[in-house]
Amino acid sequence: MNPSNLLTLVFALALAGSLVLKFWLASRQMRHVAQHRHAVPAAFVDQISLEAHQKAAEYTIAQSRFGLLELAWGAAVTLGWTLLGGLTLLNETLGQWLSSSLAQQVALLAVFTVVSSLLDLPFTLYRTFVIEARFGFNKTTLALWLQDLVKSTVLAVLIGGPLAALVVWMMGATGAYWWLWTWGVWMGFNLLMLLVYPTWIAPWFNQFKPLQDAELQTRVTQLMARCGFTSKGFYVMDGSKRSAHANAYFTGFGASKRVVFYDTLLQQLTAPEVDAVLAHELGHFKHRHILKRVVSMFALSLLGFALLGWVSQQVWFFTGLGVMPNLGAPNDALALMLFMMVLPLLGTFVGPLFAQLSRKHEFEADAYAVAQTSGADLSSALLKLYKDNASTLTPDPVYVKFYYSHPPASERLGRMLGTASAGV
């Protein structure tokens, strides 16, 4: 079997295998949650009502059921772009209209992105305005959604367009080691975004006001000082204008680092509970989780660029995925798009390793928060967030292994309270 036919077979099997695996996992999750929806787990019976537990079950099942449709559609779209000839047709059509190879390649990336976004649009709208609205989470109006869409499009054109053009140009102009130079540019861009996003981009979508609560301001300032951390400030984001979901996070890098609380979070938690949630986030920094993830991203992206640098020179990479490469013209944009479509298939099978590492980091951050604040406050805060975000307390254990970046409530609170009692 020649390399082209072998790749076609492997790709088809991987696409089908990924789809079957995800369908099986989603079915397990829905079945497991439905079987346990009639009674609150004993460990939570005093904190979570049956009504809240059943709402979480129904929300999880609705999300999973709709996710099955998205999975099937996503696989069909991938198949359409590749083995069914969609990408070849688009490339040949643009090649007839544009004489400049660079312009043609950038246009190919742009049109591909626009078409892919339009194909996903009905699912985004349904999830936001039907599922999220049905369970009381969506606060976004159609006008605000359209406004966000326009802003995102403007940013994509102003930032993504020049970046795409630069990457495609470098792929063809910097020699055999273009992938190394391009990787350096890509990493530099990501680091720049860590600096620019908090102060220039995020405020374009949300309002960020300095934290006004004097008691909370004092508590979090003392906590930061006690833990040896500094930030540019504490801010409250108007997340409630889009969603009822609550969150808090660190953003930025170096001097631009800041702490952001959703207004919904401050409405739901007491000051000691907010303190505990912040301590958890500080735990990620204390254990260098953020740095480790950045370094891992750098290493994996370098490996990915190196692999792209090799396969982009192999004719069988294109033909094996159902795409006819350009003859006597660059195929850099084609290679980039094909690589980005194939990569998620690999992620399906290695994803559980990263999910397990993420859950380990969450346990470590919880332990740090318990040591710095109160295990009772953190567990109380997390239970409120599980309830208000309609997170199921009874996920399928196998599904957790594959998808959960955070430990399920039973494991997380059980270990946390054990840590608290042990005085760690």
Residue 58 burial by CB count (10 A; 0-12/13-18/19+): exposed, middle or buried?
middle
Q: Are strands 208-210 and 248-251 parallel, antiparallel or unpaired?
A: unpaired
The helix-helix angle for 332-372 and 375-388 (nearest 10°) equals 140
| 284 assigned binding-site residue | yes
**Cβ neighbours of residue 375 closer than 8 Å, sequence gap 6 or more:** 416, 417, 419, 420, 421
Give the Cα separation of 262 and 420 in Å (integer). 27
Measured in degrees and rounded to the nearest 5, phi and psi for residue 138 equal: -75, 130
**319 closest CA partner among 104, 42, 7, 38:** 7
Give the Cα separation of 424 and 422 in Å (integer). 6
Residues with catalytic roles:
281, 366
| 289 assigned binding-site residue | no
CB 135 within 8 Å of CB 59: yes
The pair of structure tokens assigned to 170 is 């470098």
Give the Cα separation of 381 and 269 in Å (integer). 6
CB 269 within 8 Å of CB 381: yes
Q: Dmax over Cα atoms in the chain, in whole Å? A: 71
**197 closest CA partner among 253, 261, 239, 154:** 253
Q: How many CA atoms lie within 13 A of 230 on its CB side?
A: 4
Q: SS3 sequence, 132-167?
A: HHHCCCECCCHHHHHHHHHHHHHHHHHHHHHHHHHH
| 215 assigned binding-site residue | no
Q: Which residues are annotated as a binding site for Zn(2+)?
A: 280, 284, 362
